[in-house]
């Protein structure tokens, strides 16, 4: 058993670098600051040890007032505070802990470089469109907190991890509330996969076998983009394999992606014989429009070549930012 530590949940303005260090930063109460985020400013939720040691666990950089875009990075961090429990695959999750149909299994391996990718995409989108998206980042390593799981599986009972998990999702809820003032919007949950052959996977909560069905529209109600379809902005077929589907736009810009116009079936054995496909997870379900609201969500699972190499990633960041901007212009203008 790990030692439980009493936690005072505080929010801290990010005047400090997000690393593990001794306490010395200015703090404000989490609840007090929810309604007054300044665009471009960084807000950090820290986890604490009784000794005073802490880690800047969760970061929210507020987007511009007119932005309809939210980017999230739930398990790309690298901080491993020793005072936090290390997650194990033996942990049995509470079955009553999940209202969003997440059945994903345990992993303690971070999606490498997705945190960097998310921050770089936000900067590039701001530079090229003038609108800074909202970004929410989990700086903790996945072995300490997996922010794309229901709480018990995510934190395995560690009080600091639970508090950080709550902060991560509270920041997303706050960002969604701001975006909703503009009508509707989109959340992109940024991930990395290691499937072979390499490809980027677009997750809309449709299962692999659904994509060969002639009538994709029947799946709108269970998709994370339900609001886009119900509002008449797009059909499911548009969003899966149309000219402006994210997978199609990515493939047209040098990032092979599926589902898309050229690869509409992500488990097509001729093209992807490993049969693997990530169709979306806890965040896509909870924060998309499957269950409620006008904010839709899409999981983007980038392959290694796109994100791992610090020298080539900037080129991909430009391409992906262009794709996201094209998608936003088409569907959220």
Give residues in contact with Zn ion (CB under 5 A).
111, 191
Tokens describing residue 29:
């109460």
In the complex, minimum distance from the CB of residue 147 to Zn ion, in angstroms, rounded to a whole number = 10
Q: Whose Cβ is closer to Zn ion: residue 56's or residue 138's? A: 138
Q: Report, in Å, the least distance between residue 105 CB and Zn ion.
A: 12
Residue 118 structure tokens: 């998310």
- Closest residue to Zn ion using C-beta atoms: 191
Determine how β-strand 11-13 pairs with β-strand 257-258: unpaired
> Would you say 126 or 191 has its CB closer to Zn ion?
191
Asked if residue 254 has a cis previous peptide bond (ω within 30° of 0), the answer is no
Q: Residue 57 phi/psi, 5° resolution?
A: -85, -50
DSSP state at residue 172? H
The least CB distance from residue 202 to Zn ion, in Å, is 14
Residue placing its CB nearer to Zn ion in the complex, 112 or 262: 112
CB hemisphere CA count around 52 (13 angstroms): 4
Phi then psi for residue 154, to 5 deg, are -70, -40
User: For residue 302, how many C-alpha atoms fall within 13 Å in the half-sphere facing its CB?
Assistant: 29
Nearest residue (CB) to Zn ion, 120 versus 184: 120
Question: Rg for the chain (alpha carbons), in Å?
Answer: 19
Kindly state the smallest distance separating residue 76's Cβ from Zn ion, in Å: 8
Report the residue number, 191 or 286, with the smaller CB distance to Zn ion. Answer: 191
Which residue reads 């939720």 in tokens? 45
C-alpha to C-alpha distance for 135 and 42, rounded to whole angstroms: 9
Q: From the CB of 148, what's the least distance to Zn ion, in Å?
A: 6
In whole angstroms, the minimum distance from the beta carbon of 260 to Zn ion comes to 20
CA-to-CA distance for 203 and 297, rounded, in angstroms? 9
Task: Compare residues 87 and 191 and give the one whose CB is closer to Zn ion.
Answer: 191
Least Å from the CB of residue 82 to Zn ion: 24
Instruction: For residues 160 and 70, give the distance between their C-alpha atoms in angstroms, rounded to a whole number.
Output: 25
Least distance in angstroms from the C-beta of 332 to Zn ion: 24
Query: Which is nearer to Zn ion, 107 or 235 (by Cβ)?
Result: 107
Nearer to Zn ion, 191 or 195 (CB): 191
Q: Which H or E run includes 155?
A: helix 151-155
Give the integer Cα–Cα distance in Å for 101 and 14. 34
Minimum CB separation of residue 132 from Zn ion in Å reads 24
Residue with tokens 């994509």, as numbered in its chain: 211
Neighbours of 280 (CB within 10 A): 28
Q: Is 67 or 138 the residue whose CB approaches Zn ion more closely?
A: 138
């Amino acid at each position: 058993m790990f030692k439980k530590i009493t936690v005072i949940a505080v929010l801290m303005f990010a005047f400090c670098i997000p690393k593990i260090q001794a306490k010395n930063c200015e703090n404000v109460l989490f609840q007090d600051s929810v309604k007054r985020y300044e665009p471009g400013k960084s807000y950090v939720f820290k986890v604490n040890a009784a000794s005073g040691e802490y880690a800047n666990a969760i970061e929210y950089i507020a987007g511009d007032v007119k932005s309809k875009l939210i980017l999230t990075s739930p398990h790309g961090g690298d901080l491993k505070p020793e005072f936090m429990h290390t997650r194990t695959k033996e942990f049995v999750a509470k079955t009553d802990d999940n209202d969003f149909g997440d059945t994903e299994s345990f992993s303690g391996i971070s999606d490498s470089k997705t945190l960097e990718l998310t921050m770089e995409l936000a900067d590039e989108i701001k530079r090229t469109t003038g609108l800074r998206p909202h970004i929410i980042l989990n700086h903790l390593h996945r072995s300490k907190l997996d922010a794309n799981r229901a709480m018990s599986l995510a934190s395995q009972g560690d009080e600091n991890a639970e508090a950080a998990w709550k902060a991560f999702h509270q920041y997303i809820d706050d960002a969604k509330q701001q975006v909703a003032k503009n009508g509707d919007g989109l959340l992109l949950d940024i991930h990395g996969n290691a499937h072979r052959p390499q490809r980027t996977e677009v997750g809309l909560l449709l299962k692999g076998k659904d994509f060969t069905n002639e009538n994709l529209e029947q799946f709108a109600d269970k998709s994370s983009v339900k609001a886009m379809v119900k509002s008449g902005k797009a059909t499911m077929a548009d969003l899966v394999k149309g000219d402006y589907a994210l997978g199609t736009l990515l493939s047209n810009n040098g990032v092979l992606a599926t589902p898309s116009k050229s690869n509409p079936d992500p488990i097509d054995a001729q093209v992807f014989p490993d049969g693997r496909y990530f169709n979306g997870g806890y965040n896509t379900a909870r924060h998309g429009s499957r269950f409620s609201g006008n904010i839709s969500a899409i999981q983007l699972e980038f392959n290694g070549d796109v994100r791992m190499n610090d020298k080539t990633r900037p080129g991909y960041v430009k391409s992906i930012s262009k794709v996201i901007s094209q998608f936003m212009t088409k569907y959220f203008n």
